[in-house]
């Protein structure tokens, strides 16, 4: 089953996809966080035959929700309703910083952060 990874942000949303076997995660795209976002992601889940979504859970050093989490959880609910797919939360501590360290700052940074979130989830749930 293919998984989709999401790094949710106020302006941009990074998207990653796994292979069919769930062995690896690759950056896919960076989408604007606008009124068409849910529709674009729903279309992508159908086209790519996604069976589950993994979304970053943003917490601070004290393990409390970061300010973005309220909007992220509302988005999660909306996306679950639109896609009828399960959405799992995966801790995303410092994934954007790690992605920037690995590749430098570029247009695909958010997608690379989504791939790191997805990779973490896949590694924890590998059969």
Domains defined for the chain, CATH in brackets = 2-124 (3.30.420.140)
Q: How many CB atoms lie within 10 A of CB 86?
A: 10
H helices of 1-127, where? 37-47, 68-83, 95-103, 109-124
- The pLDDT assigned to 62 comes to 78
At 32-73, the pLDDT tens digits run 999 999 999 999 999 999 999 999 998 777 778 778 899 999
Q: Report the Cα 102 to chain-centroid distance in Å.
A: 18
119, pLDDT greater than 70 = yes
Q: How many CB atoms lie within 10 A of CB 2?
A: 15
């Amino acid at each position: 089953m293919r998984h989709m990874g999401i790094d949710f942000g106020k302006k941009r949303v990074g998207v990653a996809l796994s292979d069919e076997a769930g062995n690896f995660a690759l950056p896919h795209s960076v989408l604007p966080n606008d009124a068409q976002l849910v529709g674009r992601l729903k279309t992508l889940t159908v086209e790519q035959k996604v069976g589950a979504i993994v979304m970053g859970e943003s917490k601070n050093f004290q393990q409390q929700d970061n300010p973005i989490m309220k909007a992220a959880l509302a988005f999660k609910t909306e996306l679950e309703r639109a896609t009828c797919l399960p959405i799992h939360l995966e801790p995303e501590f410092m994934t954007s910083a790690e992605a920037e360290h690995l590749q430098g700052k570029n247009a695909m940074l958010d997608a690379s952060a989504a791939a790191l979130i997805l990779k973490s989830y896949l590694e924890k749930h590998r059969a």
